[in-house]
Amino acid sequence: MIKRYSLPRMSAIWSDENRFKKMLEVELFACEALARLGRIPRQSLFQIQKKARFDIERIREIERETNHDVIAFLKNLSENIGEDAKYIHMGLTSSDVLDTALSVQMQEACDILIDDTKKLLRILARKARLHKKTLMAGRTHSVHAEPTTFGLKMALYYDETRRNLERLKRARETISVGKISGAVGTYANIDPFVEAYTCKRLGLRPAKVSNQILQRDRHAEFLNAIAITGTSLEKFATEFRNLQHTEIGEVEEHFAKGQKGSSAMPHKRNPIVCERIAGLARILRANALVSMEDMVLWHERDISHSSAERIILPDSTIALDYMLNKFMDVVGHLVVYEDRMLENLEKSGGALFSGRLLVKLIDRGFTRSEAYDKIQRCAFSARKDSIEFKDAVLRDNGIRSVLNEKEIEEVFNVKYYMKNVDRIFRHVGI
């Protein structure tokens, strides 16, 4: 991922330094296990633990010759350890080290994403509580539907984000698995104790069965959880972008002092962060698709997944970390124009209350079809004559035959759309 969309803590997890560090941990814990089995002399284990270190530039130099990163890594370790290096990697295959180390990196990355998501939840909860009773027009098909509140919109996002948190937690559990079972997973040259010991030291579970690699449905689940979370952020951001339309103008991204909106039009205040989130979400979905392609490998494994994973795992975790942090800032500093919400609510001339009137007329003996047609005619005539919907209803003799003026006034009272807001908030847990 380019630096523009990278935050230091997440980027460090995918650095060569951290990758080789995790690989070294796998090798050292495997040596400890072999020593417990009597396969490595205690003095040799001591020397390995004392001298084992790596130099990234030296590994790269060796890899230019060997064209194999794990062999280059092991050769560099051997240069530093000396004679006792013969016990390093004994009975292991490259993927034992690579896949187990990768699982630890994914754990670390997922922990950051989980922490980010928890922070976003707190910000969404505060915004929801602040605007619990902030009236606005609810829209379906981009057209006024019924009154709602901006707080309910935020509560909806809170609840979805909580589901994403659970997805990320499940994904972390799914990828918290290691394998040290040899070339095709039969433990032919390595005792299963080595796998159990190494995985325990690393905070992983041993795979119940593997071939040369951990199966990539685990990685696909991880990347799909990331993609779904990112798509939720895009969904929320797209709503803010829509509400920032000049013709709507109900919310706006915070515009910092000195910020510019357009190189050509000085008046512009654009929702650039929300748009950036929308663009990065496309990358996450594309990478999730690649992760599913990586599930299909030849026989006990091929290496076609490796090159893709070197891109999609860092890029997706780094991008989502960036997106979550940016969206926290968007929500936390979102400018909400409550007066404009009320102004827009009135633009339909009261037609938003047609659904409540429909229920009222059915209660008074109309069939649903009769009531619907009568109310629709009132709504269309009000729009045609540029009058309030309520006035069109008041002059309709059929409706007036079952509802008096006071009862009609009650239909147009917003309190009926507010009465369950508190209940919904309690149900959501805000």
Tell me if the domain spanning 3-342 has CATH number 3.40.50.740. no
Q: Find the catalytic residue in 15, 262, 304, 307.
A: 262
Give pTM, 2 decimals. Answer: 0.94
Helix residue spans in 191-248 (DSSP H): 192-202, 217-243
Q: Which residues contact 199 (CB under 8 A, 6 or more apart)?
A: 100, 177, 178, 180, 205, 206
Task: Note whether 271 and 244 are within 8 A (CB).
Answer: yes
92 phi/psi in degrees, rounded to 5? -95, 160
- CATH 1.10.40.30-classified regions of the chain: 351-411
- CATH 1.20.200.10-classified regions of the chain: 3-342
Q: Which two tokens stand for residue 26?
A: 């796998």
Q: Which residues contact 126 (CB under 8 A, 6 or more apart)?
A: none
Rounded to whole angstroms, the Cα distance separating 323 from 229 reads 10
Does residue 262 carry a catalytic annotation? yes
Rounded to whole angstroms, the Cα distance separating 186 from 418 reads 64
Which residues, listed in sequence order, are joined to residue 137 by a DSSP beta bridge? 147
Which residue type occupies 209? V
Residues in the chain: 430
Give me the pLDDT at residue 268, please. Answer: 82
Give me the pLDDT at residue 269, please. Answer: 87
To which residue do tokens 């209350």 refer? 353
Does residue 141 carry a catalytic annotation? yes
Which residues, listed in sequence order, are joined to residue 251 by a DSSP beta bridge? 336
42 closest CA partner among 81, 92, 75, 84? 84
Looking at domain 351-411, what is its CATH homologous superfamily? Fumarase/aspartase (C-terminal domain) (1.10.40.30)
Give me the pLDDT at residue 233, please. Answer: 98
Which residues, listed in sequence order, are joined to residue 147 by a DSSP beta bridge? 137
Task: Identify the three-state secondary structure at position 83.
Answer: helix
Burial of 362 (0-12, 13-18, 19+ CB in 10 A): middle
Give me the pLDDT at residue 317, please. Answer: 98
Q: Find the catalytic residue in 141, 263, 267, 401.
A: 141
Write out residues in the chain with pLDDT < 70, as ranges.
Answer: none
410 closest CA partner among 387, 386, 390? 390
